[in-house]
Amino acid sequence: MNNKDLYAILGISRNASREEIKKAYRKKAMELHPDRNPDDPEAEEKFKEASEAYSILSDPQKREIYDRYGYDAIKNSGNYGAYSDFSSIFDDFGDIFGDLLGDFFGFGRSSRRRNRPRKGDDIWVELTLEFEEAVLGVEKEVEIPRKEVCEVCEGSGVEPGYNKETCPTCKGRGTIRISQGFFSISQTCPTCNGYGEINRHPCKKCKGKGYVYKNKKLKVKIPAGVDTGTKIRIENEGEASTNGGRRGDLYISVNVKPHKFFKREGDDIHLDVSVSFSQAALGTILNLPTVDGKSFDFKIPAGTQSGTTFKIKGKGAKSLRGYGIGNMIIKVNVVTPTSLSEEEKELFRKLAKLRGESFIEDKGTLFNRVKDFFN
């Protein structure tokens, strides 16, 4: 049986108040602090003991179990885990310890900025494509200035041969404590910005940043079917990480130039065509262009009205979401002829008379025109 006397460890009486326990531990902790006792295993052991004693005695429930049944009861209660027991010390004494307790007891909770590997930043570029390129897909070369890890310092920002130094202001904790009368406030250390280290010998090549900008040429495959607003993500082609993380991603935002004839609407391609009166009335075959530079014959049936649309399946753009291929929508506009020759006019007059249609020509007065309208 282990009869550790936790009260003796902290140097207090068995009926000490919570305030007294706290005070006693603070005093012990300062005295035994590993920063003040470097490479002193005995001080380290005592420091751990005192921390454990505090974690038990500062918790009324655990203190009661300890008072009644002894140290072993606490040890075996299942309530005893390094994490749950020692984390409260942070809340009470985080100011004196900074990172230390986490390192000691195997859990991290501190205000110091950890330099964990972080992913590099993403890069966004805009890419303007011809209409056809967007519909058919294309391979493009883009040139991007991006962060690359500095070869001289390998990203550390420190001139080779030197190291970063522990910040003298905060002693590497990353925070400083400012007392204002009754209160004391913890603040990010202004000397090191919370990193706990300072760089007295910045790398000359990158000026201590750890990265340099380089132009990178990349071949990018643009899939068929993209449109203005499409975003293409290319993994691991963004900015380099300066602390060993993976690269960021490259995002390409597509912008498509308008076409002379074609218009995109989703996966459909619209084409407006014009036919004459006679063609609309009698029917005709038009040779129409496609986006890939070919052409096809399309039949306009006799009697087609102006504004009629025809849908041709499978002649649109490829769907990016895998819905197959869109349609081509052909809209027919019937164009009224202007500047007719005398012979053409005569033919129209004949046609109108044949169909029993009244008409007036430029010479007509306004009165005649109105009368004609109501007939």
Residue 5, both tokens: 């006397």
Q: Three-state DSSP class for 262? A: strand
Q: Which of 6, 9, 127, 170 binds Zn ion (CB under 5 A)?
A: 170
Distance CA 185, CA 28 (A): 22
Tell me whether residue 163 or residue 278 sits nearer to Zn ion (CB atom): 163
Tell me whether residue 135 or residue 150 sits nearer to Zn ion (CB atom): 150
| b/e code 43-63 from CB counts within 10 Å (16+ = b) | beebbbbbbbbbbbbbbeebb
Tell me whether residue 191 or residue 319 sits nearer to Zn ion (CB atom): 191
Distance CA 209, CA 155 (A): 8
191 lies in the binding site for Zn ion (CB under 5 A): yes
CB of 157 to Zn ion, least distance (A): 6
Tell me whether residue 170 or residue 271 sits nearer to Zn ion (CB atom): 170
Residue 241, both tokens: 């990480």
Distance CA 84, CA 296 (A): 77
Segment lying near Zn ion (by CB under 5 A), choices 20-28, 29-37, 184-192, 336-344: 184-192
Residue 360 and residue 368 in contact, taking contact as beta carbons nearer than 8 Å: yes
CB of 188 to Zn ion, least distance (A): 8
Tell me whether residue 123 or residue 167 sits nearer to Zn ion (CB atom): 167
Q: What is the largest CA-CA distance in the chain?
A: 126
Binding mask 148-167 toward Zn ion (x if CB under 5 A, else -) reads --x-xx-------------x
Binding mask 108-137 toward Zn ion (x if CB under 5 A, else -) reads ------------------------------
Q: Which of 57, 189, 329, 330 binds Zn ion (CB under 5 A)?
A: 189
CB of 116 to Zn ion, least distance (A): 18
Distance CA 321, CA 278 (A): 43
Tell me whether residue 133 or residue 148 sits nearer to Zn ion (CB atom): 148
Going 271 to 277 to 281 to 284, the CA torsion angle's sign is: negative
Site for Zn ion in 205-264 (CB under 5 A): 205-206
Tell me whether residue 192 or residue 332 sits nearer to Zn ion (CB atom): 192
Q: How many residues bind Zn ion (CB under 5 A)?
A: 12
Q: Which of 203, 240, 254, 280 binds Zn ion (CB under 5 A)?
A: 203
CB of 203 to Zn ion, least distance (A): 3
Residue with tokens 């230390």: 100
CB of 326 to Zn ion, least distance (A): 51
Segment lying near Zn ion (by CB under 5 A), choices 83-91, 204-212, 215-223, 350-358: 204-212
Distance set, CA 2 to CA 9, 223, 238 (Å)? 14, 72, 59
Segment lying near Zn ion (by CB under 5 A), choices 21-29, 126-134, 191-199, 361-369: 191-199
Segment lying near Zn ion (by CB under 5 A), choices 22-30, 190-198, 226-234, 331-339: 190-198
Site for Zn ion in 30-49 (CB under 5 A): none
Angle CA(98)–CA(102)–CA(107) in degrees, nearest 5? 145
Q: Three-state DSSP class for 211? A: strand
Residue 329 and residue 309 in contact, taking contact as beta carbons nearer than 8 Å: yes
Segment lying near Zn ion (by CB under 5 A), choices 10-18, 31-39, 189-197, 343-351: 189-197
Distance set, CA 285 to CA 206, 329, 330, 332 (Å)? 68, 16, 13, 12
Q: Which of 24, 123, 192, 280 binds Zn ion (CB under 5 A)?
A: 192
Q: Which residues contact 336 (CB under 8 A, 6 or more apart)?
A: 277
Backbone angles phi, psi at 244, to 5 degrees: 90, 0
> What does the binding site for Zn ion look like in residue numbers (CB under 5 A)?
150, 152-153, 167, 169-170, 189, 191-192, 203, 205-206
